[in-house]
């Protein structure tokens, strides 16, 4: 490879196509990792699970904890490299919510706890209504 005076790193990159390709792929890979963390937002509250995807939040989805029918956890081959799992929350609409997280068991436990608490609050409210109606 021939270097000219004052060319520096730019000449080295343009002079070697393999180095140029590796640099481009590395940059794309880093941008992918950054965008995965920055663009997708996942929130679990006491009543709903919310996901916002895109920049700036092009698509959002809410699932009420009372509507959750099932939750499953899995891992694809590429997810092993990034050390993430997917958590699928099905609310019976035919379009389950699938998110990638590093700790799916913790998220699943949170949703189940909030479902149980919200269910108990609903039973207490129904009980109060029945008692008030029987007077």
pLDDT tens digits, 91-134: 888 888 888 888 889 989 998 998 887 666 655 544 443 444 44
Residues sharing a CB contact under 8 Å with residue 60, sequence separation 6 or more, in sequence order: 50, 51, 52, 53
5: its two tokens: 């005076």
Residues 6+ apart with CB under 8 A from 47: 64, 65, 114, 118
| Terminal-residue alpha carbon distance, the chain | 95
pTM beyond cutoff 0.85? no
Q: What does the pLDDT read at residue 12? A: 58
């Amino acid at each position: 490879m021939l270097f000219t005076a004052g060319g520096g790193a730019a000449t080295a990159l343009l002079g070697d196509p393999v180095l140029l390709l590796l640099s481009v792929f590395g940059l794309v890979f880093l941008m992918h990792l950054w965008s995965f963390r920055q663009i997708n937002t996942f929130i679990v509250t006491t009543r709903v699970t919310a996901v916002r995807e895109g920049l700036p939040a092009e698509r959002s989805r809410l699932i009420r904890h009372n509507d959750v029918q099932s939750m499953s956890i899995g891992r694809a081959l590429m997810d092993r490299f990034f050390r993430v799992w997917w958590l699928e929350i099905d609310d019976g609409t035919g379009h389950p919510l699938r998110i990638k997280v590093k700790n799916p068991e913790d998220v699943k436990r949170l949703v189940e706890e909030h479902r149980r608490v919200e269910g108990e609050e609903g039973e207490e409210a129904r009980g109060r209504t029945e008692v008030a109606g029987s007077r």
